[in-house]
Amino acid sequence: MSVQTENGPAPQTKAERLVEVPNVDAYSTNFYFDLAVEGQTFSAQMTVRGGANGLDHIQRVQGAMKEIVQRGGAARTRNKAEAAPAQAGLEWGKSKRGRTVLILREGQPEPDNVPCPVHDGKTFRRKTNEDGSWLSHKDGDTFCTAGFEKRP
């Protein structure tokens, strides 16, 4: 067996001879995330455009996602039922009567405001009267409410 050695540049294939002109409009990715800033959780959307090719574009998208996660952001799916809780440490459940309740473990104080787990971007505020305390936010002409439930 013999190996033939050639000097000079290897012959170019047809594809390599083409000058690649990146079409920056060809690659565009939207993704959604929740980001807490000074106690408020924002539901945001980011659009990443451009890239020399598909792989380069995806790497840009992943880079942007990584930056968001490093700043405490969380991925958001379009289906809220599958989405992770907007704020870590909040435990939502149902009371025996089927009411939405914020579960408070022993020693956990009732928060004055928390993001509503049902309505994107709405914040519950703590209300009190002689009967006790609950969470409420305006939802159109009505109010969305949730209770507190202390569990060990």
Site residue total, Zn ion (CB under 5 A):
5
Give the H or E element holding residue 126: strand 123-129
**Position with the least CB separation from Zn ion:** 144
| Residue selected from 68, 74, 108, 119 as contacting Zn ion according to rule CB under 5 A | 119
CB 102, CB 147: distance < 8 Å: yes
Tell me the CA distances in angstroms from 79 to 6, 25, 52, 84, 118, one per residue in order: 59, 28, 32, 10, 11
Window of 40-48, 55-63, 79-87, 144-152 that interacts with Zn ion by CB under 5 A: 144-152
Nearer to Zn ion, 32 or 143 (CB): 143
Q: Which is nearer to Zn ion, 80 or 122 (CB)?
A: 122
Which one among 110, 111, 118, 123 touches Zn ion, defined by CB under 5 A?
Answer: 118
Q: Give 71 or 94: the residue with its C-beta nearer to Zn ion.
A: 94
> Shortest distance, CB of residue 123 to Zn ion, whole angstroms?
9
CB of 136 to Zn ion, least distance (A): 9
Which of 30, 42, 47 is closest to 71 using CA atoms?
42
Q: Does position 116 bind Zn ion by CB under 5 A?
A: yes
Cα-based torsion angle of the residue sequence 109, 111, 116, 121 in order, rounded to the nearest 10 degrees: -150
DSSP letters for 61-79: HHHHHHHHHHTT-EE--SS
- Give min distance, CB of 119 to Zn ion, in A: 4
CA 37 to chain CA mean position, Å: 13
Q: Applying CB under 5 A, does 114 fall inside the site for Zn ion?
A: no
Give the residues lining the site for Zn ion (CB under 5 A).
Answer: 116, 118-119, 122, 144
